[in-house]
Structure 1
Amino acid sequence: MTTNAPAPAQSLDGEAVLLVGHGSRREKSNEQVRDLAATLEGRLGVPVDAGFLELAEPSISEAIDGLAASHDRITVVQLSLFAASHVKNDVPLAVEQARAERPETTIHNGAHLGVHPAIVDLLDDRAAAVEESLGVDREDEDVAVVLCARGSSDPDANSDAAKLARLLYEGREFSSVETAFIGITDPELESRLHTVAKDRPDAVVVLPYMLGDGVLTQRVREHTDEFDAEYPYVAAAAGDPLGTDSRLLDVLGDRWQEARTESVQMSCDTCKYKVELDGYEEDVGGARAMLRALTHQEEHADRTDVDDDPHVHDAPAKHVAVCTNQTCAADGAPAVLERLRQEARDSEACDARITRTSCLGRCGEGPMVAVYPDGVWYGGVETDDAAEIVSSHLDRDRIVSHLVDQTL
């Protein structure tokens, strides 16, 4: 006999990720975000969808609705290079609205890409590709680099571009690494190139610090070509944007882990909405700052300490650093990193933050895993060793002696 009884309600379970891109009128740029989302899903092992702030579909709200239909936890990861108004205002507002509309769904909001060792490595490779095309070698010739970002009205974002440039310079044989912008703020690329030329380098490598190969990247190439024609004694060329390089997945994976464990750290000490900076006094307070303050307070509500200070966090008991530099990476360090994180997530006793780090100076003896504040370094760590490190050392403070490389 046929009945008209309603179907049983669907059980919601599990976590999903929303990768938020800006959105573009160029569908190629939107497809890049979707491609990254699909690849990130394979990396994290959880469903990942793409959503957009504007100019493309689905919107953040629509994407969250789609994921919330079958998942009770959603982590928003932002595909933004720096923390400007979209990161500080627009995405938090969309997340807050989604939380209000879906109180049964846990929604975490992650940070932007920001300054990260994997991005510095990626920029180094982009520079090396340009050097090869020009037939120059930074070890034998003077090679100057200009890192060209979009430019922002937020000094916090612009200062991170300068920090990336400095990190790219440190420890490498470039004659200089300078910062420039394609608009909005100074120094603009054209002016910076003329300044760099005064030092008469053998070559100038221009790195467009953009995700996609769009209008701004093309503008960077045009300025570089004009400079190359004007200064015949300097070989100059522009490199490729970040694109969908796999190292972006490393950064996004870290931002996902921070968000889902409620350990996101924003640069509030230099945020123009929070503190008074010369030239930006009028941005302190007002509706935008209030929005930022409310969302910031809510995200940190259960991590505050005395005097209800939202900037005081409970530090994890241990910090685990996994070397993912070239030698360790070739020996399987990325897999060790992901396995450690998985084991830590599955443990009820583990109170540790697990991050990647650059070279620990033990090349050939890795993958290297350092545990602080204990000062214990493990060497030759394999993926299957991760469970023992977590269950013994991180859970119960029992050093895994057969893996110890050195203690400090």
Structure 2
Amino acid sequence: MSEKIGVMLCGHGSRDVDAIREFQALAGHLAHRLPQYEVDSGFLEFATPIIRTGLDALKAKGVGRILAVPGMLFAAGHVKNDLPWEINSFAAENPGLPVTFGRELAIDIKLLAAAKARIEEAEAASAAGIDRKDTLLLVVGRGTNDPDANSNIAKVARMLWEGMGFGWAEIAFSGVAYPLVDQALERVTRLGYKRVVVFPYFLFTGILVKRIYEWTDQAASAHPGVEFLKAPYLNDHPLVVDSFVERVGEILDGSPAMNCSLCKYREQVVGYEASVGAVQAGHHHHVRGIGTDGDHDHGHHHDHDHGHHHGGHGHAYRPHRHD
């Protein structure tokens, strides 16, 4: 008989019930696409079930191997530290059950195509006949204190800018990194473009995405001479599901490694030299499992910066907590 394989989709978690619903829908799509495997899911923080619950459920189903896939776009602190800690802790307690951790979605041709489709949805919903050469694209990332992850937003923006023929493109972040969305919106309105497309490069909705759209509405009210379009985030676009299926396949092929050439924990990245060699550890025990089951914030309104503090660096801006 062939080995029974389990797939564990590891999500970030959110206090926002809509975000949790969307993640669970994505997990359902993945299970539908991979009927030959047992598929489960869980969250790092702010929601249940937690990742350990999903891993235990796969073990209870008698799988002989678990393939753990990060349900996240880029590799910052959660993918580099918190999720591996969760997976390694489970693996250490279950030495007879191999667990392999896959890579994040990263910059991917399929995801760029999904992003293009989401932007085109926003354009199609507008009655104004404004050419792309008269349009500025603002790509918004979550924001971390990991410069490698933040730089990916710049690359995504550049590829969409050139590939779709926009007149200009800028980037912004919902927190932690500069510029924040409201700052970027104020700046781009001075550049003279007739339309600004705001595209949250996020997988799911949540407090942050809703805040991005609120900022966009405020900018539209303040600048009635400019059309502002709110593009949908990636969500469960079929190409996003395809990308997750590919990540599972990479683990089976033995090639799940993420690109660590600019990782601040491995290389002497400018401004983050003290982070090299930092211990890989989880940082979210205090918010694991809370947030959507009636046990909301527990007073944790401090900032979690998605890159965490591994000694040294103090330059990142952290004005907003994540969802």
Distance 2:253 2:30 in 1: 18
Identity percentage of aligned residues: 35
Shift of 1:141: 5.2
State the SS of the aligned residue for 1:198: helix
Unaligned residue ranges in structure 1 (runs of 5+): 1-10, 290-408
Structure 1 segment 325-344 matched on structure 2, within 5 A: none
2:10 is matched with which residue?
20
Contact kept in structure 2, 1:14 and 1:73, CA below 8 Å: yes
2:48 is matched with which residue?
57
Q: Deviations over 1:9-61 (max 9, x none)?
A: xx994111111111122333222222211211111222211111122222222
* 2:173 is the counterpart of 1:181: yes
Unaligned residue ranges in structure 2 (runs of 5+): 282-323
Distance 1:137 1:37 in 2: 38
Q: TM-score, normalised by structure 2?
A: 0.81
1:200 is matched with which residue?
192
Q: Deviations over 1:121-156 (max 9, x none)?
A: 121122112222333456465111100111101111
Distance 1:140 1:277, change over 3 A: closer
* 2:243 is the counterpart of 1:251: yes
Opposite residue 286 of structure 1, the aligned amino acid is: A
Deviation beyond 6 Å, 4+ runs, structure 1: none
2:111 is matched with which residue?
119
State the SS of the aligned residue for 1:269: coil
Distance 1:178 1:74 in 2: 40
Contact kept in structure 1, 2:132 and 2:167, CA below 8 Å: no
1:105 is matched with which residue?
97
State the SS of the aligned residue for 2:137: strand
Distance 1:76 1:197 in 2: 43
Structure 1 segment 26-105 matched on structure 2, within 5 A: 26-45=16-35, 46-69=37-60, 70-105=62-97
Distance 1:140 1:157 in 2: 28
Aligned residues: 279
Distance 1:141 1:285, change over 3 A: closer
Between 1 and 2, higher relative CO (CA 8 Å, sep ≥ 6) is seen in 2
Highest Rg: 1 or 2?
1
Opposite residue 161 of structure 1, the aligned amino acid is: I
Shift of 1:81: 1.5
Q: TM-score, normalised by structure 1?
A: 0.65
Shift of 1:92: 0.9
Distance 2:178 2:222 in 1: 22
1:155 is aligned, of 136, 140, 147, to 147
Q: Deviations over 1:268-319 (max 9, x none)?
A: 1111111112221221223239xxxxxxxxxxxxxxxxxxxxxxxxxxxxxx
State the SS of the aligned residue for 2:80: helix
Q: Deviations over 1:333-381 (max 9, x none)?
A: xxxxxxxxxxxxxxxxxxxxxxxxxxxxxxxxxxxxxxxxxxxxxxxxx
